[in-house]
Amino acid sequence: MFPQVRLRRLRENHILRESITENKLSINDLILPLFIHEEKGTHEILSMPSHYRLDIETMLKDVEKLIKGGVKKFILFGIPKEKDALASGASAIDGIVQQAIIALKKNFGNNIYVLADLCFCEYTSHGHCGVLENSVVLNDETLNMSQKLALSYADAGVDMIAPSGMMDGIVSSLRSALDVNNYSSIPIMGYSAKYSSAFYGPFRDAAGSAPESGNRKGYQMNPANRLEAMREVDLDVAEGVDILMVKPALSYLDIIRDIKNKYDLPLACYNVSGEYSIIKAAAQKGWIDEQAVALESLLSMKRAGADLILSYWARDFVSWGITE
């Protein structure tokens, strides 16, 4: 007896197959991370092919090309010349991220959407994400520093703030500071479930943010934990977060789906540097089809429930000619 139900009937014609596609990937789904430094010129990031540390002038030329290619959303990471134990240069109005925000909004206005990552690991001499005392990052003291940093971003004209340090209470702390200072319209994208992951290695090369000693397991999440992620997300929602996020993405698709099943807030995920560089390295060896694997990996994040994806592949979308 032959089957009456044949699912292949809906797969064989490419026009019909495209019409009933459940999830679609667009360049509009992507947010491109940019690394901005205080040194002059462009410095190649060897562990992240096609990405560079940019100065302000080079950044503007780069972004102009990217906008023409369809990339509209960028998240900024700053690399200062000088660091100290208290990240004292992070909140300065002439800080590298603040100056980048001012330059981007001046040159591109509403044609660009600028997010600023809010953390201190790039600015501290010890490489941890806040005030360090006896090898422990102090939560509440770091919240006070974070409020000051958020306001400096807001003064510079940022469109959205994304706190990544995984301090308890960070969303409510920033929301309070922004609202009191007449910045109630600036949304917050929480790094709601950020895991202590081995996939961050190339980023730490790019941003110069590796801890001088120890690790970040005391404040970032244990990769073994699933239920704890929902507790973290619950807290961010209660504190007034505007967009949720899971970081990393590919190894945490179950977490993305768990969150999407529970909340109707916009959900982002961070397709982190290690996930990107692994594919790049394999492609350079000729072992895989780079574009096909990259697109499939991004599509898996959309299928899991992500609305937005922070991804280094946004730059490749432009070179591939993917404009929709």
Exposed e or buried b per residue across 88-127, where buried means at least 16 C-beta atoms within 10 angstroms of its C-beta: ebbbeeebbbbbbbbbbbeebeeebebbbbbbbbbbbebb
CA dist list (Å): 191 to 12, 50, 126, 182: 41, 25, 22, 23
Q: Which residue, among 219, 247, 222, has the nearest Cα to 311 in the 3D structure?
A: 247
Query: From CA 181, how far away is CA 159, in angstroms rounded?
Result: 15
Q: Which residue has the tokens 């929902």?
A: 230
SS3 5: coil
Q: Is 247 a catalytic residue?
A: yes
**Pairing of the two strands 267-271 and 244-247:** parallel
Amino acid at 67: I
Per the CB < 8 A criterion, the answer to whether 83 and 37 are in contact is no
SS3 296: helix
Q: For the domain bounded by 19-319, which CATH number is listed?
A: 3.20.20.70
Query: From CA 267, how far away is CA 247, in angstroms rounded?
Result: 11
Q: What phi, psi does 152 have (nearest 5°)?
A: -70, -35
* Helix or strand run (H / E) with residue 269: strand 267-271
pLDDT in tens, 94-137: 999 999 999 999 999 999 999 999 988 888 878 677 777 777 77
Catalytic residue among 72, 73, 83, 247: 247
Per the CB < 8 A criterion, the answer to whether 299 and 311 are in contact is no
* Helix or strand run (H / E) with residue 27: none
Q: Which residue, among 104, 79, 77, 66, has the nearest Cα to 313 in the 3D structure?
A: 66
- pLDDT < 70: residue spans in the chain: 127, 207-216
Q: What is the pLDDT of residue 77?
A: 95
SS3 313: coil
Q: What is the pLDDT of residue 91?
A: 84
Q: What is the pLDDT of residue 210?
A: 63
Per the CB < 8 A criterion, the answer to whether 244 and 236 are in contact is yes
Query: From CA 297, how far away is CA 319, in angstroms rounded?
Result: 18
Q: Is 217 a catalytic residue?
A: no
Q: What is the pLDDT of residue 280?
A: 97
Catalytic residue among 194, 217, 280, 285: 194
Q: What is the pLDDT of residue 1?
A: 81
Amino acid at 43: H
